[in-house]
A = this chain, B = another copy of it.
């Protein structure tokens, strides 16, 4: 099968390119290298199954030219501004890189008759629901970040485009995803800051922010498993892992793995790390579990594994 992976040089996208090629698919990787990197796909460069386009998927013309030339059978859309903290002061980034990319991907699919899509959504579409365990039927989705808003808007687009054009779509709402090729986030920050100063660590918020962290290769395995979903319309899953990990626990594991003792934690205070951050959430995963899939690594295990890889 020939697949376009939009955002294919990114953290998650590049692992997906690896898996698709391993399974014998031809991969057309599209990335504007805003967060993705050439290093992430350097090892694929000489593979005859791999093609790389340096192009911005928010541009109708750029994306159309690729669809026109490549005639893909399916699309994996993972392009987005994934750095939520960065866009808090510049919502235009989400408008362009997260929402508009989705619109252009769907509009190209409509124009070129491509019927199969995987879309990377997020827990951020729910907003801050406190202690509610979030399932796919939770109502009143109220994103508190521009990122969450652009992803929820993207899901709405997918709903209309799939209905109007008989598309077959798999949507995963990702939790925090970590592992090799990570570019930002709390683990990345803590390691870098402790390398600079092993005596003390500033922790945003009160350290009790608690979320599930999923290992990226677990996530890619799930995408590969469900990509051939044959139900018409949209199939949507919350995807995650066992348990959750607090920011304070991440700090402890980073210190432990770096062999640091008596590091002084300085809390910036408040319940969330920054405005727009959801401090706590928990997924109900009955839907995906009952279909026979489970993540291999728990949240704590994924955190430790990622720290070791990034030291």
Q: Point out residues on A near B: beta carbons under 8 Å.
A: 88, 91-92, 95, 99-100, 103, 106-107, 110, 125, 127, 136-146, 148-150, 152-154, 156-157, 159-161, 163-164, 234, 275-276
CB of A156 within 8 A of CB of B159, answer: no
Q: Which residue of B lies closest to A148 (CB)?
A: B160
Q: Across chains A and B, which 9 residue pairs bring their CB atoms closest together, nearest first?
A: A153-B153, A139-B139, A149-B160, A152-B156, A144-B163, A149-B156, A142-B159, A153-B156, A149-B157
CB of A103 within 8 A of CB of B95, answer: yes
Q: Which residue of B lies closest to A88 (CB)?
A: B164
The one of B103, B154, B275 in contact with A164, judged by C-beta atoms closer than 8 angstroms, is B275
Docked CA distance A139–B236 (Å): 14
Q: By DSSP majority rule, is chain A's interface helix, strand, loop, or mixed?
A: helix
Docked CA distance A163–B275 (Å): 9
Determine how close the nearest CB of chain B comes to the CB of A309; give it in whole angstroms: 33
Docked CA distance A152–B142 (Å): 11
Q: Which residues of B contact A234 (CB under 8 A)?
A: 142
Docked CA distance A153–B153 (Å): 4
The one of B100, B127, B153, B164 in contact with A157, judged by C-beta atoms closer than 8 angstroms, is B153
Interface centre among A103, A150, A234 (most CB of B within 10 A): A103
Q: List 21 A-B contacts (CB under 8 A).
A: A92-B107, A95-B103, A127-B159, A137-B139, A137-B140, A141-B159, A142-B159, A143-B156, A143-B160, A144-B163, A144-B164, A146-B157, A148-B156, A149-B153, A149-B160, A150-B156, A150-B157, A152-B152, A160-B276, A163-B276, A164-B276
Q: Which residues of B contact A88 (CB under 8 A)?
A: 164
Docked CA distance A159–B150 (Å): 11
Q: Which residue of B lies closest to A137 (CB)?
A: B139
